[in-house]
Structure formats: C-alpha cells, structure tokens
Amino acid sequence: MKIRQILLFSAMSTMTFTTVNAQQSPLNPETEKKIDLLMSKMTLEEKVGQMNQYNGFWDVTGPAPVGGDAQNKYNNIKKGLVGSMLNVRGVKEVRTVQKIAVEQTRLGIPLIIGFDVIHGYKTLAPIPLAEAASWDLKAIEKSAEVAAAEAAASGINWTFAPMMDISRDARWGRNMEGAGEDPYLGAKIAAARVRGFQGDNTFRSPLRIAATAKHYAAYGFIESGLEYNIAQIDTNTLYNQVLPPFKAAVDQGIRSVMNSFNTVNGVPATADRYLLRDVLKGKWGFNGFVVSDWASIREMIPWGFSKDENEAAKSAVEAGTDMDMEGGIYVPYLTDLVKKGKVDQKYVDDAVRRILRVKYELGLFDDPYRFLDEKREKEVIGSKANLEAVLDVAKKSIVLLKNEKNILPLKKSGQKILLLGSLAASKNSPLGSWRIASDNNTAISVLEGMKAYKTSSVSYVEGPKLTLEEPTFLTEVKYNSTDFSGIEEAKKAAANADVVVMVLGEHGFSSGEARSRTDITLPGLQETFLKEIYNINPNIVLVLNNGRPLAISWAAEHIPAIVEAWQLGTQTGNAVASVLYGDYNPSGKLPMTFPRNVGQVPVYYNHYSTGRFNGDPNSVFWSHYSDAEKTPLFPFGYGLSYTTFSYSDLQLDKKNYQKNEPVQVSVTLKNTGNVSGKEVVQLYIHDEFASVVRPVRELKGFELVELKPGESRVLHFTLTGKELGFYNAQNEFIIEPGTFKVMIGGNSDANLTASFTLE
Ligand code: NOJ
C-alpha cells in the first residue's frame, strides 16, 4: 500500500513540513456499505457486545479473568455480547466458540480470535530483542510470517504483536519483546514484522493474520523500569523516540493498536484522547481498531483516575479505546451510559465500525471458518520449512562480543571441549518468555546442538544449579544462591579441558511481562562459578542467555570470548553450535546498550551532549560519575565477526546543500580478514546546532553487507528531510539549516566523519 505524503515547506528560516497521510489504506466502499447495513440492524447492546473481549479457558496472560466460567462465556456469546476472544486456540476449540457466534446469535457476527503470537506459535524463533540484533529485515519479516502461518493454521486471526516500545532501561523485563533502544531501527523492524504477519494486507491467504502495534504509548519509558508504572515523558522524547515505530506500523497498514498500562504524563494511556484520537486516528489516519490492554480500562479506578466503572467506560471510549480486553467494563456499563445520554453514541458507532471493518477484511464474514482446517493445522505447524526459517534467524541473532586470541571458532576435532552450566542443557529456558502455545522443553539445547556436530570431545558438567525449581510463565524465577555443590566436579573437569564453554545468564522466564529486576548482573551463584572456573582454566567461552542487557563488567574484562546468544527459540542449540564451530560467522549487532552497572541505567547511545559533557578530568565539575566510567560496557550497534572490516573513503557528493536536495553519502567497506563475513554498516548523523538540542548521534541508515576475504564494496546512502528533520518543542516536524556531521562505522562509536551544510 502506498501512502501519499504531502510535504509542505515554509519559506521561513526553519523549514517546517507537516506530513499529511491519505487514509492509511483506502477504505473499500463495498465493505463500508456492508458495515452500514449490518450496523443498521444492530441493537445498542449488540454494538457494545462487539467491543467486548473475553479470555479463553486455559491460557491466562493476566490477573483474574472476568466473565465467569466457560458456560457463562458461551451464554454471553449467544446473547451477542462478545466480539472477540483471546487465548482460545486450536482448530477444534476455536470452532466451538465461533460456531456459537455464527450460528446461535441473532446476527451471526463472527468472533475475531486474538492471541499473543510474540516470537512464534509452536515453532519458536528467537525472542524479538534477539532478532533485532540481526538487523536483517528480511529474516525478521520471514520469522513473523512463520509465526503468522502457524497461528492462523491453529484458528487464530489476530496477534498482539509486534511490540514496538523503545526502551533504554535494562531493568524492564519487556525489553525482550521489543527491538531495543533506537527509533530508526525500531521503525524499520516494526514495519518488517507487520509485513510478516499481514503480508500485503489483503488477507487473501488464510496464513496471514492481523497484527497489533503495542503498547501505545511510552510503556518502555515507565519509571525505574518498574512494571505497570507511570511514564513522565517530554514531547521531544515522545515524538522523536517513542512514536516513530508506531507511525511506521500504521503506514505499513497495521490493523490494530493496543494501548498501554502506564499513564503518560498523568493520564492513563487507555484514556489518552490526544494520543488515540488526535494523533493515531486523526493525524495518522489509522482506520483499524484500538484494543485496551488486559483490564486497563478497569485499572483506571485503582490508578485514581476514574471514580467508578461508569467513569472508566466513558473516559476510555471517548478517548478512542474501541475494545475492552478482559476489563468487564463496556458490556455492563456502556449501554446504559449511552441510553442515559452520558456518552454520545457516535463513539460506540466509530468503535464498532472499526472492529467490523477488520473482521470483514480478514474474510470472516465470507467464511467464518476459513482459518479452521484440521488438515492445514497438521501440515503447517512445526513444518520442516518453519524449523529451517527459525534456525536461519537464530544464527543471525547471535552477537560476538569478544574474541581474544581467536579462541573462537572452536575446532571440530582434536580439542577437549567442556560445557558447563544448567542453561547449557536446558531445553526450556532457551524458548524464552511469551510462548504460551508452544510445548515446554522443546528447544534443542546447546548441549544437544554441540553433540550433534561431529566431535567426540564435548563433555558436559552442570556445576552449581541455576534455579531451585523450574520456573514457569506464571511464577517468579527463584535463582539458586545457596547451593554451591557441583562446583568441585566442574573444577575437576575444567582442569582437563582445552576450552571451557560456560552457558550462563538469565532463565527465559526472567524477562517478559512483570519481570522487572534491580540487579542485572549474572543472577544467583553464576559469577562466583565463572570466577572459580577461570582460576582453574581461563580458556573460557562465555555464552550468554538473556532477554535484556546484562551488566557483566568482570566477565568483559577477564573472559577471552563472549557470545551473546539471548534466548534463541526452538533451534537454539543448532544455532549456537554453528557459530561456536565457525560454520556461521556471527554478524549480529546489539540493539541495546550494555551498561557497566545498573546505576548507569538508563544509558543509551543517542543521548545529549550537556554543557559539560567532556569536561576537564582534572576538575570535578563536569558530567561524570565519581565511582565509574560513564561510557557503556558495549555500545549500541556493537558486534564482532570472525573476520575484520575496514572503512575508508567517506564521501559526500557536495559540501553545501539546498533545503530539499538529497545528500548522497558513500563509503568503502573492505573485508580485511581471512573468511567471508557480514557487516552491518551503520550511518549516524549529528545536527550540530538546533533550536532544540539534538542527540550526539542518531542512526539514520544501515546496510547488511556480505564480503569475501579481501573483497571491498562502495556503499551508498541518501539523506533527505526525513532523516535530517526532527520534532521541535511545538511538535512540528522541522528541518533546520546548519551543519551536520555524518559518521559511518560498525557500531555507534563510528568515527569516520564528514560534514555538510544545509543552506
Ligand atoms: C498484557 C500484556 O501487556 C499484553 O502485551 C498482552 O497482549 C495482553 N496481556 C494479553 O495477553
């Protein structure tokens, strides 16, 4: 779908342009007529019923579901009081509820079935943060396509993904679900994921599903990384950092948006009329529907924003929240509010029209059972092709953080390799969080992956246990901090090994919703374990498992090789083994800055300068910490390869540009090592002086390039107003004249620099 953009330039000293979007996707007049006709037959109760979403019967992804037991829910579907269900899955189960809606209600309006398909359905891809580390938009799109196909084959029509919350706070558990800290990369990935889920937005294929941009907005900026908290956010950050991925998803044609649990500057996002009606549905022309987050309408009461259920219903619907997920608020209260004239019916009509539109687009009115085919379910879920696709993206997601003395890649024979750590043998943790439809213990463990390589010399010792009991999605992870037994056996084995591979980090359920942490070092006894082994045999490869940046300063200083392997899903062991043995040359780059310690958080590459950023180190009066360096441990965009690359010849086609002239940038990249490899070439800019202070650098282009040893290539980038402009204090997108710096390299510390002036 092409978006028409009209750029209006003013002739003032600053150039201002307003982006006016045509409809997000042209509305189909036939569909709109059908909606008119259907709505003319609907009672107010039936309309409000379309705005109600119930949880299903077994997967629970929030506190105490409303709506009673299954029988009660069936009865309400029959009465036309339910428009959607979540957490009902499998062709048989979905058919049961869909049949009630279609065959036993007065108007036969089908349900739309939603589910958290976050990084796969049964076949799991890496957690989304890991995938973002691939910077490979095709692979990311493919991964969402696989997830959509498996979910669709299981009767699901709508996923609550992708999450596109920009976050700079490693303490927040939900970093694992996003694409990291950068709005440019985040927007590209958001669009790729929407394409993967929705395809060309026609839904002609029964293997594509509607996607959800979540959580709108500023959820990644919740205070202290503490879940369900407030977000106090200035408009500069909101417009320039938080909103771009949402805008990109809307432009890509996304069909739904979920609001967030947090307040935005004092107003619950669920009732934020400005964000929902003015920006999303107004300025951006979004014509899908908005779903609340789980019970977020009801939670406005304990927030102290709504006095009671009536007020909550009124604020939410007037603001533009179209569907009530598990809040039990719209059905019992909204109808009456409209009847008594306290809420204008136009809000209900608008919400229902949007919901019905997406149901029509999904083809549910033509054939409510089109997603329900047992044969397809069997064929698609867990297919060989899906397993291959997730293996591909898993390899691409791995980031090599350190590799001294070429300890990696490992030798396929003639080397005694010892594998240590509970996580090395775990078939559960590598699946990561948010994988409710998949079966426990179905990942290929690192141990299995390594053994499958033709080498007789891998042995395994667990060492001190990671957790005291196996965690679940619904329980806290309890790390072992008392039982150090197992260390002696591990030490003995380490003394005899040529290389020790230690798989350490967080359990997969340590990140995700409600998994905020104040300590982001290796949890439990793992750092002590690492140090004890290091004293016996320092030839260690540390394989990290985590769903957020970790503070691993000691390891970064002492351990010769570190591989960031996140939680890579079903194919974890195969992906890790192929990188450790050198069959896949790692190419991932960090999508989030790694801090030295938790006290530095939030720490991010696109920060501001301050008036005393690089002060005189002999004076104390400059922006610094007294007890630690302020630079991060690993910067955004960082990642090594088994080969090396050099950058040279950064060129601009001119020195001075007129206001709407494109800036052409070129640079030469050379593979200077001995093996083929891929590099993510990153382009950053800095607007030197502006009416609003600008970040020290901002990513504005990247390209994933593969080169053979000795090969070089000239790469071209174009910068236009889109990349050079920013939202000012009045929330207008402007491009200011002045001097810009361009920096290109393999991470956000890129130091090959050129400058140009915009007249
Ligand atoms: C709450 C989460 O915040 C949201 O992301 C998810 O989609 C819903 N629960 C449904 O499980």
* % of the chain residues with pLDDT over 70: 96
Residue 410 has pLDDT above 50, yes or no: yes
Identify the CATH homologous superfamily for domain 2-15+30-377: Glycoside hydrolase, family 3, N-terminal domain (3.20.20.300)
Tens-place pLDDT, residues 171-230: 999 999 999 999 999 999 999 999 999 999 999 999 999 999 999 999 999 999 999 999
What pLDDT is attached to residue 496? 97
**Would you place residue 681 in the very low, low, confident or very high pLDDT band (cuts 50, 70, 90)?**
very high
Q: Give the pLDDT confidence score for residue 456 in this predicted structure.
A: 62
Question: Is residue 2's pLDDT more than 50?
Answer: no
Mutate to test the pocket of ligand 1, among 293, 323, 435 (most ligand atoms within 8 A of CB): 293
Render pLDDT for 318-342 as a digit per residue (tens, 0 to 9).
999 999 999 999 999 999 999 999 9
pLDDT at 677: 98
Q: What is the pLDDT of residue 615?
A: 77
pLDDT computed for residue 432 by the predictor: 98
Give the integer Cα–Cα distance in Å for 535 and 491.
9
Give the pLDDT of residue 731: 86
Q: Which pLDDT value is given to residue 62?
A: 81
pLDDT at 725 over 70: yes
CB-based contacts of 27, cutoff 8 Å, min separation 6: 287, 357
- Is residue 13 scored above 70 in pLDDT? no
Same fold, 391-592 and 645-758: no
pLDDT value at residue 16:
32
The stretch 712-739 carries a mean pLDDT of 95
Average pLDDT, the chain: 94
Binding pocket residue ranges, ligand 1, CB within 6 Å: 61-62, 86, 116, 160, 214, 293-294, 513
The model's pTM is 0.96
Provide the percentage of residues in the chain whose pLDDT is more than 90. Answer: 91
Please tell me the distance between residue 403's alpha carbon and the centre of ligand 1 in angstroms: 39
Delimit the domains of the chain by residue range: 2-15+30-377, 391-592, 645-758
Q: Which of 172, 177, 294 to mutate to test the pocket of ligand 1 (most atoms within 8 A of CB)?
A: 294
| Residues marked as catalytic | 293
Position in ligand 1 atom list of the atom nearest CA 87? 11
- Find, among 545, 528, 740, 563, the residue nearest to 654 by Cα: 740
State the distance from the centre of ligand 1 to the C-alpha of 293, rounded, in angstroms.
6
Q: Provide the b/e sequence for 108-125 (b: ≥16 CB within 10 Å).
A: ebbbbbbbbbbbbbbbbb
Q: Please, what CATH class does the domain formed by 391-592 belong to? A: alpha beta
* Alpha-carbon gap, residue 277 to 103, rounded angstroms: 35
When pLDDT is averaged across residues 541-560 and rounded to a whole number, the result is 98
Q: Report d(CA 499, CA 9) in Å as an integer.
A: 62
Cα angle 636, 521, 450 (rounded to 5 degrees) comes to: 80
Measured in degrees and rounded to the nearest 5, phi and psi for residue 21 equal -90, 140
**492/621 Cα distance (integer angstroms):** 51
CA of 116 to the centre of ligand 1 (A): 7
pLDDT at residue 660, rounded to an integer: 87
**Does residue 17 surpass a pLDDT of 50?**
no
The CATH label, of 2.60.40.10, 2.50.20.10, 3.40.1280.10, 2.60.120.1600, for the domain at 645-758 is 2.60.40.10
Report whether pLDDT(417) > 60.
Answer: yes
